[in-house]
Amino acid sequence: MERPRHQGMTKNTYMRWRLPLVCLLWEVAMIVLFGVFVRFGPEADAHWEEEKREMNLTSDIENDFYFRYPSFQDVHVMIFVGFGFLMTFLKRYGFGAVGFNFLLAAFGIQWALLMQGWFHSFKSGKILVGVENLINADFCVGSVCIAFGAILGKTSPIQLLVMTLFQVTLFAVNEYILLNLLHVKDAGGSMTIHTFGAYFGLTVTRILYRPNLEQSKDKQGSVYHSDLFAMIGTLYLWMYWPSFNSAISEHGDAQHRAAINTYCSLAACVLTTVAFSSMLQKKGKLDMVHIQNATLAGGVAVGTSAEMMLTPYGSLIVGFICGIVSTVGYVYLTPFLESRLHIQDTCGIHNLHAMPGLIGGIVGAITAAAATEDVYGKEGFIKAFDFTGTYQTRTPSVQGGFQAAGIVVSLLMAFAGGALVGAILKLPVWGDAAAENCFEDDIYWEVPEDEESDVYHMHNPDKPASP
C-alpha cells in the first residue's frame, strides 16, 4: 500500500453520535410540528360523512383517494425503488445507493408535507392533508433524489440529510412562486422537480469538487449484477412515469391524457437512445449507462406538457429528441463538465434530468402558448389552464411567457440554493469520506465479510483456502 493516505487519515467519518443525533432531533422536531400543524383533510377525516352531504356527493368513490391512490403508489415506488435501485449500478455502493436514498426520502417526505402544506394546504392554522399531499411530498423528495445522483458516493448520510432539509425548503418556495405567483402549469414537474433538482445538485457537486477523485476511479464502474439491479430501478421509473406525470392532474381527461402522452414519449425515447448508444461507440455496442438513464429522458421532458393537448405524435417527437440529447450528453458532455467545469456528476443527472427538464419547460411553454379554444373546447380550455378568477383574461401566449419565466426562476433558485447548500456541506463537520474512500460502502455500512472466498470454502471444504 504505497498510495498516499494522508487525506484519508485526517478525515473523520465516524458517524456514531452525529448521525443518531441528527436523526433523532429532527424526527422529534417533525413530531412537534406535525402535532401543532398537521390534521386530516376533509376526505380523510371521520367527519367525511357530513362533508359528503354538504358537497352533495352520493358515493364514497368520489373521495379523491380513489382518483389518486393508485398513481400515488406508483410514484412511491419510483422514489424508493426507482431512484434507489437506479443508483445501485456502482460495484460497491449498493447499500449507500438504496439505503441513503431510503433515509433521505423518509425524512424528506415529512418535511415536505410541512413545507408544501404551509404554502398550499393551510386552513385556519392547520395543514389539512390528503392523498394529493402525499404525492406532492413524494414529488418534492424526487428532486432531492435527483440531486443525490450528482453527489452519489461522495457524501456522508448527514450531508444528505442537511441537503434534504434545505432543498425541500427551497423546492417549496420555488414551487409556490411558479404555481401560485406565476400561475404556471407543471403537473409532472419538468421545471419544479427536474430542472430545479438537477441544477441544484450540479451546483452542489461543483462546490464539493474533489480534485483527487481519480483515486477511487476503480470503484466508479459497475459489475455485471450491479447493472442488472440498476435496471430494476430504470424499468420502474420508466413504467410508472405515466403515473408520475398524471398523478396530480385534474380528474378525468387531464389525468388520462397525461398518461398517454408520457407513455408515447417514453417509448420513442428508448429507440433513439439505443440508436445513439450504438452509433457513438466505436464497436457499435450498447452501453448500459445509456439504457439505464437516457431512456427515461422522455418522461422528464413531457413533465409540463403531458396534461396539455400535446398529442401522441407531439410526445413521440419530444421523446425522440430527448433520447438523442441525453445519450449524446453521456458520451460528450459529462466528461467535458468534469474536466473543464469541475462538475463531477456521478449518475449523469445533467443528461437525464437537467437538459430534458429544460426541454420539458420549453415544450410546456410552447404547448401552452399554442393552445386554442378550438383544440381544447371552450370549457376544456379554461379547465386545462385554470383561467378563472384573477387569471380569467390571461391568453395562451401570455401563459407561455409565464411558463418560460418559470424555467428561469427554477434555474435561479437552483443555482443560488445549490451554492448556499454546497457551501454549508463543505464545512468539515459532516463526516464525508476521503477521495480514496468514495464510492465504497464500508465507510458507513457493515459490509458482509469477504464474500467470494466464503462461498468457495463453503462448497469446497476439501480445497485449500490458500495454496
Where in 423-452 is the site for a second copy (CB under 8 A)?
442, 444-452
**Smallest separation, CB 74 to a second copy (Å):** 6
- Using CB under 8 A as the binding rule, whether residue 67 contacts a second copy is answered as yes
Q: Does 90 bind a second copy (CB under 8 A)?
A: no
Q: Report yes or no: 328 and 370 within 8 Å, Cβ to Cβ.
A: no
Is 60 an interacting residue with respect to a second copy (CB under 8 A)? Answer: yes
Among 124, 224, 339, 428, binds a second copy (CB under 8 A): 224
Considering the rule CB under 8 A, would residue 148 count as an interface residue with a second copy? no
Specify whether the CB–CB gap between 98 and 84 falls below 8 A.
Answer: yes
Residue type, 206: R
Per-residue binding letters, 370-409, with a second copy (x by CB under 8 A): -----xxx-xxx-xx-------------------------
Residue that has been written with the C-alpha cell 494522508 in this structure? 6
d(CA 457, CA 247): 51
Report residue 222: phi and psi, to 5°: -110, 170
Distance, first Cα to last Cα, the chain: 23
Q: What is the DSSP letter of 318?
A: H
Fill in the per-residue mask, 253 to 282: x = in contact with a second copy (CB under 8 A), - = not in contact.
xxxxx-xx--xx-xxxxxxx-xxx-xx-xx
Query: Using the rule CB under 8 A, which residue among 87, 131, 204, 409 binds a second copy?
Result: 131
Q: Which of 11, 86, 92, 200 binds a second copy (CB under 8 A)?
A: 92
Instruction: Give 260 or 420: the residue with its C-beta nearer to a second copy.
Output: 260
How is 195-242 classified by DSSP, letter by letter?
Answer: IHHHHHHHHHHHHT--TTGGGGGGGSSB-HHHHHHHHHHHHHHHHHHH
165-204 burial string, b = 16+ CB within 10 Å, else e?
bbbbbbbbebbbbbbeebbbbbbbbbbbbbbbbbbbbbbb
Nearer to a second copy, 150 or 231 (CB): 231
Contact 90, 238 (CB under 8 A): no
Size of residue set near a second copy by CB under 8 A? 161
Regarding 181 and contact with a second copy (CB under 8 A), the answer is: no
Asked whether 196 and 171 are in contact (CB, 8 A), the reply is yes
Minimum CB distance to a second copy, residue 367 (Å): 12
Q: Does 332 bind a second copy (CB under 8 A)?
A: no
Q: Does 214 bind a second copy (CB under 8 A)?
A: no
Among 203, 243, 367, 437, binds a second copy (CB under 8 A): 243
Query: What angle, 0 to 180 degrees and rounded to 10, lies between the N-to-C axes of helices 396-425 and 355-369?
Result: 160
Using rule CB under 8 A, residue 366 touches a second copy: no
Q: How far is the CB of 371 from a second copy (least distance, A)?
A: 9
Name the pairing type of β-strands 126-129 and 38-40.
Answer: parallel
Q: Which residues contact 38 (CB under 8 A, 6 or more apart)?
A: 113, 114, 117, 126, 127, 129
* Contact residue for a second copy among 77, 328, 370, 420 (CB under 8 A): 77
- Residue 412: CB minimum distance to a second copy, A: 31
Q: Of residues 6, 10, 35, 339, which one binds a second copy by CB under 8 A?
A: 35
